Amino acid sequence: MVQRIVWRRRRAEFRFPTLKTLKKNADRRELKKACTRKGLGDDCADFDVSVVGELNLDLILSGLPPAIELDREHLAKDLTITLGSSSAIFAHNLALLGNRVGFSSAIGSDRLGEICLERLGESGVDLSRVRKFAGKLTGLTVILPQQTKRYILTYPGTMFEMKFEDLDLEYIFFGETLHLSSYFLQRALRPRISELFREAKRAGLTTSLDTNDDPEDEWALDLLQVLPYVDVLLPNDQEACRMARKNDPDEGGGLSGDESCPGGD
């Protein structure tokens, strides 16, 4: 069963100094300047991982009847409001494991966004590059679990708003690794994600990508422009098959597995 698809490429040589380069060369004066300039303190450590992606809460209604009918009121047995979004959960869990994580994202000027920051900040993730967009709403996902699967209903909000120009590349490239999640939800950023990954490789970072699902189920070919700059690709079975446009992951040109794709013939 396909759990992970991994491309491993030789790390590129550094094209310009990063924090780890400055440390290696023991250039304390330049390191101090770089850290101070980025607001990370005079003796900061570079990030283990820089995460770029969406930030929202998940509202989970559990214990609903198997058949949900229109114009009927259905009762849930349980309600959970928790930190959602693939990018934020990834960053949160890495930080809890002791990694230094920088997070680049966007929220709206609402209470939902503030709660997101509170929940994610509890893990120790650096949130200094999460932008607040005035007059915009933070996204929200409603999850309706069923027996083995679930309905996932998402209002994108600021997920669709963050652009390449909103990113602080010097801050992001402080990391050893760049990770991006939810490729198809980064609507404003998506046209330049390949550029982001290319520049990350030039800066000497390892890169990883978790596309998640494509809500429009198109799996457009622009994703292929990003893959040459991806070291580690993290799809599930269904996503791997959609990317490869195959019914069986064994046919996927380097995608491996031992079961047919979900929904395949």
Span 138-142, average pLDDT: 98
Q: Give the number of other Cβ atoms within 10 Å of residue 226's Cβ.
A: 21
* Mean pLDDT calculated for residue range 233-259: 72
Q: Which of 202, 220, 213 is nearest to 263 (CA)?
A: 213
- Alpha-carbon distance of 171 to 110, in angstroms, equals 26
Q: Categorize the per-residue pLDDT at 247 as very low, low, confident or very high, splitting at 50, 70 and 90.
A: confident
What would you measure as the largest C-alpha separation in the chain, in angstroms?
67
pLDDT of residue 19: 47
* Res 114: pLDDT: 97
Domains and CATH numbers, the chain: 5-54+86-136+158-251 (3.40.1190.20)
What pLDDT band is residue 212 in, cutting at 50, 70 and 90? very high
Report which DSSP code applies to 211: -
For residue 11, pLDDT over 90 is answered with no
- Report which of residues 38 and 79 the model is more confident about: 79
Q: Is 184 helix (H, G, I), strand (E, B) or coil?
A: helix
CA gap 240, 6 in Å, rounded: 11
> Residue 79 pLDDT more than 90?
yes
For position 188, what pLDDT does the model report?
98
Per-residue pLDDT at 261: 63
Query: Residue range 5-25: average pLDDT?
Result: 42
Selected residue with higher pLDDT from 86 and 19 = 86
Q: How many CB atoms lie within 10 A of CB 223?
A: 19
Q: Rounded to whole angstroms, how far apart are CA atoms 165 and 196? A: 11
Q: For residue 245, which amino acid is it? A: R
pTM comes to: 0.81
DSSP result, 240-262: HHHHHT-SSGGGSSS---SSPPT
Residue-wise pLDDT for 215-226, tens only, equals 999 999 999 999
Q: For the chain, what is the mean pLDDT?
A: 84
